[in-house]
A and B are shown apart, each in its own frame.
Chain A
Amino acid sequence: MGRYLRLYGHFVRFSLSKAMEFRFDFFFRVFMDLAYYGIQIAFYNVVFLQTTALGGWNRDQALVFLGGYLVVDGIGMTFFSNNLWWLPNAVNHGDLDYYLVRPVSSLFFLTLRDFAANSLINLAFALGILVWAVLRLPQLPGPGTCALYLVMIAAGALLHGLLHLLLLIPVFWMHSAGSLHGIFYSFSRFMERPDRIFTGWTRRVLVTVFPFCLMASFPARVFLEGPGWGIVLHFTAVLTAMFLFVAWFWGKGLRAYSSASS
């Protein structure tokens, strides 16, 4: 609805002016994320000193995968991460109260209010890394595949946000938040590596119920090996199911909200 778009416009404006206030923090976050990118690239380089193929990809292909992963991460950091970080706090300290009383989706506010301008800059760098990695490939796929790839990357970022939210909803019952963030960040590690190194039941879980491996690997596979109906269908099915489940689970959480009394 137009209203939500206008509200989001306000969010972006307010977040930008707030970001400009703490300049040291702003630049430092950019620098920190860039260091993270550098470390990931260094890691892959060291690994490929020991082997020529990983998860079905050679070094150049793996770097394209890495670029895609960094973009997914960048999108998540820009739109969702800051908000989700504070969500358990809002629930535990009763900040949720005011959102529940307004004729607006509380979830909208809680997940999108803070637009991380510094992450937008990092996102630009991540896109740069992706383009650099892609240009090193001997052969580029057609425009249709590229478009599909970009759509899947964006969808992967959405899935990332959904998964994070999913793991935070238990705070309505648990009240102790630190471990929930910890679980998400721990399992995010699975996302950083090509999905085909995982085998057996682990892999099955990681591409369905906790689809950490789906978000960056599947788009990369489509890009590097050509689109296949199987992959795209699988991806769409998991995304839809996750979306519906999180919406339902959030409703359950609100019902159980006991609202810290003043």
Chain B
Amino acid sequence: MIAWRFYVNNLQRLVSYRAEFWIGFLGTLVSQIGVAYFLWKAIYQARGVESLRGYTFGGIMLYYLLVPLVERVGHAQEMTGFSGEIYDGGLSRYLLYPVSYFRIKYAGNLAQATVYLVQLVLILVAYGFAFGMPSGFSPLSILQGLAALGASLTLCFFLSAALEMVAFWADNVWSLWILVRMTISLLGGGMIPLAFFPGWARAALAWLPFGSLIDFPIRCLLGKMGCGEWMMGLAVAFAWAGAFGAATAVLWRRGLKSYAGVGI
């Protein structure tokens, strides 16, 4: 299948970015976790308690360890190349291929996600050896987590696709994308676990797509999810994925009409 070829190609390309592969990853990991470590150590010390909102200090550190890993699996490659392809006419190439453009892109996305999933597993295993697995962790939680990651992946793909469609009409999409990423980071639990938000905020966020991308998969993996809550979370995630998918389809059709294929 052609899409498989793209998958392998992408995998190859990714592995060749040697320094970026390791340094970039480690840099983000160390800084995100480093800052969180000191921040929460100060907070737990100031409060003098063992556990806050259901997280022990160790538990919250594991949460922060998982944030970049889960984020990467979910966000993977997205569609960020798309606006560039509109701008320089590279899209034309894909329109000629006998495969759906989105299938190609999704294949690439999966390739990237696979690499990151491997990273996630390796690091979790290392953590397990060093500190022992947390109590909530179990085969069930792994399963829930994988399902949640799949939902997150799909949701993120269609979210980014819908956003990238704007490239048909506007000059510059990346700033829009950064804005969205920042919002996801705060409202999705990337900066602070959603458990710490005030009650009214948590209730609202349960219906929004942001939490599905970070907080939801992590809580699944840590075994903090009851089955009912888990199914609800999946439903919300797939519903939003469907909504963005539909928006993408509409924008794609309208955008292609105005696509001029200009560029070098």
Instruction: Answer whether A and B touch in the complex at a CB cut-off of 8 Å.
Output: yes
Given A39-B183, A178-B24: A186 and B31 interface contact (C-beta under 8 Å): yes
Q: Is A124 part of the contact surface with B, judged by Cβ < 8 Å? A: no
Is the beta-carbon distance between A25 and B24 smaller than 8 angstroms? no
Q: Does A198 contact B (CB under 8 A)?
A: yes
Complex interface: chain B residues within 8 A of A35 (CB): 179, 182-183
Residue in contact with B28 in the complex, picked from A36, A55, A182, CB distance below 8 Å: A182
Q: Which residues of A contact B28 (CB under 8 A)?
A: 182, 186
Q: Known: A35-B183, A182-B23. Is A46-B196 also a contact (CB below 8 A)?
A: yes
B227, CB-defined interface residue at 8 Å: no
Do residues B19 and A46 form an inter-chain contact, with CB atoms below 8 A?
no
Across the interface, do A22 and B171 meet the contact criterion of CB distance under 8 Å? Answer: yes
Cα–Cα distance between A90 and B41 once the two chains are bound (Å): 42
**CB-CB under 8 A for A50 and B196, given A32-B178, A176-B17, A197-B38:** yes
CB atoms of A28 and B176 under 8 A apart: yes
Which among B27, B176, B198 has the greatest number of chain A C-beta atoms within 10 A? B27
> Is B39 interfacial (CB 8 A cutoff)?
yes
Judge whether A49 is part of the interface by a CB distance below 8 angstroms.
yes
Please, how many angstroms separate the alpha-carbon atoms of A32 and B192 in the complex?
Answer: 21
CA distance A35 to B178 in the complex (A): 10
Interface residues of A in 165-193 (CB under 8 A from B): 174, 176, 178-179, 182-183, 186-187, 189-190, 192-193
In the assembled complex, the Cα of A47 lies from the Cα of B196 at a distance in Å of 8
Nearest-Cβ distance from residue B174 to partner chain A, whole angstroms: 9
Given contacts A31-B179, A35-B182, A36-B182, contact A55 B42 (CB under 8 A): yes
Residues of A within 8 A of B178 (CB): 32
Do B171 and A176 touch (CB < 8 A)?
Answer: no
What chain B residues lie within 8 Å of A31 (beta carbons)? 179
| A-side interface mostly | helix
B19 touches A176 (CB 8 A): yes
Residues of A within 8 Å of B24, CB to CB, are: 178-179, 182-183
The answer to whether B192 touches A179 (Cβ under 8 A) is no
Expressed in whole angstroms, the minimum distance between the Cβ of A237 and any Cβ of chain B is 24
Whether A179 touches B42, Cβ cut-off 8 Å, given contacts A32-B179, A186-B28, A202-B34, is no
The interface residues of chain B, by DSSP majority, are classed as helix
B264 interface residue (CB < 8 Å to A): no
- Residues in A neighbouring B41, C-beta threshold 8 A: 197, 199
Q: Which of B27, B34, B47, B186 contacts A39 (CB 8 A)?
A: B186
With A28-B176, A39-B182, A179-B23 already in contact, the answer to whether A186 and B42 are too (CB < 8 A) is no
A25, closest chain B residue (CB): B172
Q: Is B32 an interface residue (CB 8 A)?
A: yes
| Mask: chain B, 16-50; 1 = CB below 8 Å from A; 0 = not | 01111001100110111011001101110011000
Q: Is A50 in contact with B38, judged by CB distance below 8 angstroms? A: no
Q: Is the CB of B191 within 8 A of A43?
A: yes
Q: Which residues of A are found within 8 Å of B170, using beta-carbon distances?
A: 24
A54, A179, A199, most chain B CB atoms within 10 A: A179
Partner of A182, one of B27, B46, B179, B191: B27
Encode contact with A along B165-183: 1 for CB under 8 Å, 0 otherwise: 0000011100110110011
Binding site for B on A (CB under 8 A): 22, 24-25, 28-29, 31-32, 35-36, 39, 42-43, 46-47, 49-55, 174, 176, 178-179, 182-183, 186-187, 189-190, 192-193, 197-199, 202
Other contacts beyond A50-B43, A190-B34, A202-B34: 13, CB < 8 A: A22-B172, A24-B172, A25-B171, A32-B175, A39-B185, A46-B192, A47-B43, A49-B196, A176-B20, A182-B20, A187-B31, A189-B35, A199-B41
Q: Spell out B's residues near A (CB within 8 Å).
A: 17-20, 23-24, 27-28, 30-32, 34-35, 38-39, 41-43, 46-47, 52, 170-172, 175-176, 178-179, 182-183, 185-186, 191-192, 196-198
The 8 closest A-B pairs by CB, nearest first: A186-B31, A182-B24, A186-B27, A197-B42, A179-B23, A25-B172, A179-B20, A183-B27
